[in-house]
Structure 1
Amino acid sequence: MDIFEAAREFVRREGRLVERRLFATLFEGADPAGVVDALRGYRNADGGFGHGLEPDKRCPDSQGLDVEMAFDVLLAAGARDDELVRGACDWLQSVATPEGAVSLGTPAVEGYPRAEHIGEWMYQPDLNPTAGLVGRLHQLGVKHPWRDQAEQWCKAKLAQGFPEDAHGMHESMEFLEHQPDVDVAAVKDWLPKLSHYRADAADPSYGVTPLHFAPTPDSFWRQLFNDQQIEAHLDRLLADQQQDGGWSLTWEPPGTVPTLEYRGIVTVGALRTLQAYGRLKVS
């Protein structure tokens, strides 16, 4: 069984409905509306998303992290549902600071199973996820008063300096690529200084890699990396496929089911990146 066939069987066997429908849209020509339908199951009455859409916490309450994942799924599928996105923006506005910043999560996550890394650090409004959410709204082409307010906050925050963590930097770069005065050289110089940045493809530890920053050849930030770096990480991505057809994780979700759920997410993501870079034969 080849790479794609094995991964397809893994997603069909172990993946959630939302990943199965996303897979069908990306690789089998299915209507993206099915992806939107699956996302609606994670939506709350307040317009936000929860219910473990991001599987590292099982909290049903709306969380910034889940809204971000909902936007990612829409973007991956090429789906549009402005009503769904605007409702999420209304929720973001309702929980934002007076300046527009939002947090990844709330203390409500503590009442439910969660991964060890899910905790108080998530409750502080920051560039992660505010900048990433604004950047994704630009990609979705959705305008909203919260987006405008949060954009000004992000500009002011980044004027004080870049984040020191690769996750925060990744979120900031999602924002910066939509700004007319982005200093690409400054971003490139900053990358080696980041914690959790995994530049070496041979490093098996957890981290953010060049393929996270540039998941496709036409990604804005592809210019930061030379061909050798990208090819090495693509080789590593291929090598990381497991015998069951899925890709493994470098962290521990809070249980067996969320582990499989997250493996489904990263497996579909791996296939998307490998196909974009011409490393995958889709049968």
Structure 2
Amino acid sequence: MDIFTAGRDFVRREARLVESRLFATVFEDADPHGVVDALRGYQNADGGFGHGLEPDKRCPDSLALDVEVAFDTLLAAGARDDVMIRRAVDWLGLTANSDGAVSLCAPVVEQYPRAEHISEWTYQPGLNPTAGLVGRLYKLGVAHPWRDRAGAWCAAELAKGLPEDAHGLHEALEFLEHTDDADIDRVRDWLPKLQWFRADAEDPTYGVTPLHLASTPDSFWCPLFTDAQLEAHLDRLVADQQPDGGWAITWEPPGPASTMEYRGIVTVGALRTLKAYNRI
């Protein structure tokens, strides 16, 4: 069975409705409004998203991490719902600190099953996720007072220096590509200093890879990497497909259901990347 068919069958068999609708939109020309409809069940009355949309915590309360996943899903589907997005950004504005910064999660997650890494550090407002959320709003073409306030804070923070971990840098890059401060050479020189950056395609451990930072050949940050580097990671991505057709994850979610949900997310993501680079 070929890569795509095996991945498709895994998604149809194991993935959540939202990933199934996203797959159908990306690969089968389904109406993107189906993705919007699937996301509605995760949006709370306060406008934020929760209910484990990001599966590493089973918390129903609105969290910025879930808002980010919602925005990513809309972008991947090429879908828009202005009311849905506006309500989410209004919620971000209400929960942000005075500078506009937001935190990934909040202490409320401690009342629910969660992965070990969802702990106190995720309660601190920071560039992760603030910069990433601002960048995604630029991609969505959504202007908002919170976006401007938070963006000014992000610019001031990044002027002091780049994040020291790969997740934080990924979020920062989402923002920087929409500014006049997108310095490719500065970022390239910084990559070897990052924690959790997986430069070596042979390294099987957890980490952020070049394909996370440049998921398509026309990604703004693709010039950070040589063709050989990207090809090596594409080869690794192909090799990492599991016998069941899906891709595995390298961390421990809070339970079997969360694990399968995340495998659905990364499988659709892997197929999208392979399609973008003409590997399937």
TM-score range, shorter chain: over 0.9
Distance 1:181 1:159 in 2: 9
Whole-Å separation in 2 of the counterparts to 1:135 and 1:77 = 17
In the alignment, is residue 164 of structure 1 matched against residue 164 of structure 2? Answer: yes
Counterparts of 1:1-283 in structure 2, within 5 Å, are 1-280=1-280
SS at match of 2:30: coil
Task: Write the letter of the residue equivalent to 1:223.
Answer: P
SS at structure 2 position matched to 1:149: helix
Q: Give structure 1 stretches of 5+ with no counterpart.
A: none
Residue 212 of structure 1 aligns to a residue whose secondary structure is helix
The one-letter code of the counterpart of 1:116 is E
Structure 2 regions of 5+ residues with no counterpart? none
For residue 122 of structure 1, give the secondary structure of its aligned residue in structure 2: helix
Could you state the TM-score of these two structures normalised by the residue count of structure 2?
0.99
Task: Write the deviation string for residues 199-236 of structure 1: whole angstroms up to 9, x where unpaired.
Answer: 00000000000000000000000000000000000000
Partner Cα distance (2:183, 2:221) in 1? 12
Give CA-to-partner distance per residue, 1:253-283, whole Å, 9 cap, x none: 1101110000000000000000000101xxx
Give the TM-score of the pair, scaled to structure 1: 0.98
Report the Cα offset of residue 181 of structure 1.
3.0
Structure 1 consecutive aligned stretches of length 4 or more whose deviation exceeds 3 Å? none
Q: Structure 1 residue 94: deviation in Å?
A: 0.6
Cα distance between partner residues in 2 of 1:81 and 1:130 = 21
- CA deviations on 1:120-178 (whole Å, 9 max, x unpaired) are 00000000000000000000000011000000000111111111000000000000000
Q: For structure 1, which segment, 183-192 or 45-54, has the greater mean C-alpha deviation from structure 2 after superposition?
A: 183-192
Q: Which amino acid aligns with 1:104?
A: L
Distance 1:5 1:169 in 2: 34
CA distance in 2, matches of 1:170, 1:150: 17
Q: What displacement does 1:182 show?
A: 1.8
Residue type matched to 1:217 in 2? P
User: Following the alignment from structure 2 to structure 1, what is the Cα–Cα distance between the partners of residues 130 and 173?
Assistant: 12
CA drift of 1:183 comes to 1.5
